[in-house]
């Protein structure tokens, strides 16, 4: 059996209990197909980058699956037919991650700027050599000469 990470987006007008019922339904499909579902993370309701079927938000859920390909295809088929599921994505992985996913980690755990590296200050590039120093900056009102 192969290992998969499966993320799906459920409609914003569902209740959290209905989303949990969907998770249990799809767990049953996986287990009926001879697989198991490991970690299930509910990422909550988040804003979408663009509207999907007139929805601006969706409930995001991650499932770690250890199942044969036929069971995963059946879950994807059923999700495609469901009106409650906006999008889904299944990725085959070599091993499941231990601990919380990147979405569940607090920002403090990832560092000051997330995983993007250290913050750059404004003056870290040094002087520009292609033009002379312009001298001190003068603060003036643009309407000064209009009177």
pLDDT digits (tens), the chain, 147 positions: 889 999 999 999 999 999 999 999 999 999 999 999 999 999 999 999 999 999 999 999 999 999 999 999 999 999 999 999 999 999 999 998 888 888 887 755 655 555 555 555 555 666 666 767 667 777 665 556 555
Look at residue 97 in the predicted model and tell me its pLDDT: 83
pTM, entire model: 0.69
Would you state the torsion angle of the CA atoms of residues 101, 26, 90, 94, taken in this order, to the nearest 10 degrees?
60
On whether the CB atoms of residues 2 and 54 are closer than 8 A, the answer is: no
pLDDT at 76 (0 to 100)? 95
Measured distance CA(91)–CA(145) in Å, rounded: 64
> Residue 108 and residue 19: Cα distance in Å, rounded?
29
Question: Which two three-digit tokens encode residue 109?
Answer: 């755990």
* pLDDT at site 119: 58
> How far is the C-alpha of 130 from the C-alpha of 140, rounded, in Å?
26
The answer to whether domain 2-96 has CATH 3.30.70.60 is: yes
Q: 134: which 2 tokens?
A: 């312009």
Structure token pair of residue 89: 């994505």
Task: Look at residue 82 in the predicted model and tell me its pLDDT.
Answer: 92
Helix, strand, or coil (residue 21): helix
CA 83 to mean position of chain CA atoms? 21
Residue 122: count of CB within 10 angstroms of its CB = 5
């Amino acid at each position: 059996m192969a290992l998969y990470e499966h993320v799906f987006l459920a409609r914003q007008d569902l209740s959290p209990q209905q989303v949990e019922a969907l998770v249990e339904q799809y767990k049953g499909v996986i287990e009926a197909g001879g697989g198991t579902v490991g970690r299930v993370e509910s990422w909550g309701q988040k804003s979408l980058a663009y509207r999907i079927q007139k929805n601006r938000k969706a409930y995001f859920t991650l499932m770690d699956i250890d199942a044969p390909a036929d069971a995963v295809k059946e879950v994807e088929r059923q999700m495609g037919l469901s009106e409650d599921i906006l999008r889904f994505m299944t990725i085959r992985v070599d091993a499941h991650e231990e601990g919380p996913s990147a979405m569940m980690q607090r920002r403090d755990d990832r560092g000051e700027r997330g995983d993007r590296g250290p913050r750059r200050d404004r003056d870290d590039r040094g002087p520009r050599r292609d033009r002379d120093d312009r001298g001190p900056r003068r603060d003036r009102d643009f309407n000064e000469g209009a009177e």
